Homo-oligomer: A and B are copies of this chain.
Amino acid sequence: MNNNPSKVTPRILSGFMELLPADQMLFNGMLGVIQKSYERFGFIPLDTPVIELAEVLLAKAGGETEKQIYRFTKGDSDLALRFDLTVPLARYVAQHYPDLAFPFRRYHIGKVFRGERPQRGRFREFYQCDIDIIGDGALSLLNDAEIPSVIYATFTALGFSRFTIKINNRKILNGFFESLGLASQAADILRSVDRLEKAGQEAVQQELAGLGAPPNAAREVLAFIGLTGDTAAILSQLKQMQISNGTFHTGVDELEKVISYVSALGVPGQNYAIDLTIARGLDYYTGTVYETVLNDYPGIGSVCSGGRYDDLAGYYTNKQLPGVGISIGLTRLFYQLREAGIITPKSATPAIVLVIPQTSDLRVPLQAATELREGGIPTAVYFDDAKLKKKVTYASRLGIPFIIVIGDDEVAGGYVSLKDMSTGQTSNVSTKEAISLIRAKESANNGSSTDPVSA
In the complex, are the beta carbons of A105 and B50 less than 8 A apart?
Answer: no
In the complex, are the beta carbons of A100 and B21 less than 8 A apart?
Answer: yes
Name the B residues within 8 Å of A100 (CB-CB).
Answer: 20-21
Cross-chain contact of A70 among B43, B72, B369 (Cβ < 8 A): B72
- Whether A16 sits at the interface, judged by CB under 8 Å, is yes
In the complex, are the beta carbons of B45 and A24 less than 8 A apart?
Answer: yes
**Copies of this chain, how many?**
2
In the complex, are the beta carbons of A125 and B49 less than 8 A apart?
Answer: yes
Name the B residues within 8 Å of A149 (CB-CB).
Answer: 370
- Whether A327 sits at the interface, judged by CB under 8 Å, is no
* Closest Cβ–Cβ distance, residue A314 to chain B (whole Å): 8
**Which listed segment binds B: A272-280, A296-304, A347-355?**
A347-355
Name the B residues within 8 Å of A45 (CB-CB).
Answer: 21, 24-25, 28, 350
Name the B residues within 8 Å of A53 (CB-CB).
Answer: 11-13
CB-CB under 8 A for A2 and B317, given A140-B384, A383-B146, A384-B135 = yes
- Whether A373 sits at the interface, judged by CB under 8 Å, is yes
User: Which residues, 359 to 392 on A, are CB-close (under 8 Å) to B?
Assistant: 362-363, 366-367, 369-370, 373, 376-385
- Whether A8 sits at the interface, judged by CB under 8 Å, is yes
In the complex, are the beta carbons of A25 and B44 less than 8 A apart?
Answer: yes
23 contacts between A and B (CB under 8 A): A1-B95, A2-B94, A4-B318, A7-B316, A7-B317, A9-B56, A9-B316, A10-B92, A12-B95, A16-B51, A24-B47, A25-B45, A28-B47, A40-B377, A42-B350, A44-B398, A50-B111, A51-B113, A72-B72, A146-B381, A264-B362, A264-B366, A266-B366
Apart from A25-B44, A42-B351, A70-B79: 11 A-B pairs, beta carbons within 8 A: A2-B317, A8-B55, A8-B316, A28-B45, A39-B350, A42-B350, A42-B381, A42-B400, A70-B74, A143-B384, A265-B370
